[in-house]
Amino acid sequence: MTGKRRILNFEEISIKGETKYGITTISRQHRNITEKIQEAEVIVVGGAAGMTEAAGYSSYQSDANFLKYFGKFADKYDIKNIFEGFYYPFSSKEERWAFLATDIKFIYDAKPSGPYLDLL
């Protein structure tokens, strides 16, 4: 594919007019998606917390990584995990930004692993 790139959305690759979860629809959708992938010059994967969890970095647990980076927040504010920290009602903007800056540092220091490396 050359020139202008086209982004396909789910509606373009789903089969219309059939039962949403019928066997025929699923197998036709699978073929359709497979063809689109084979024709693609580039594939962009959107992943969120699930990929991060699979790579071993949890936003929902109080594990060693959390305590290494966010231990002071855990001690001072009784925050149990990164997710909870995002919604914590810090008393000042500076405290909130200190938490966010710590999260940026945590992400920056994280070693690529698991599903992220599988995408290469």
Q: What is the pLDDT along the chain (120 residues), one digit of tens a residue?
A: 455 666 555 555 555 555 555 555 667 778 888 888 888 888 777 777 778 888 888 888 899 989 999 999 999 999 999 999 999 999 999 999 999 999 999 989 988 888 878 877
Proportion of the chain in helix, strand, coil states, percent, rounded to 5: 55, 0, 45
Check if the beta carbon of residue 69 is closer than 8 Å to that of residue 106. yes
What is the domain partition of the chain in residue ranges?
1-44, 49-118
Collapsing DSSP to helix, strand or coil, 95 comes out as helix
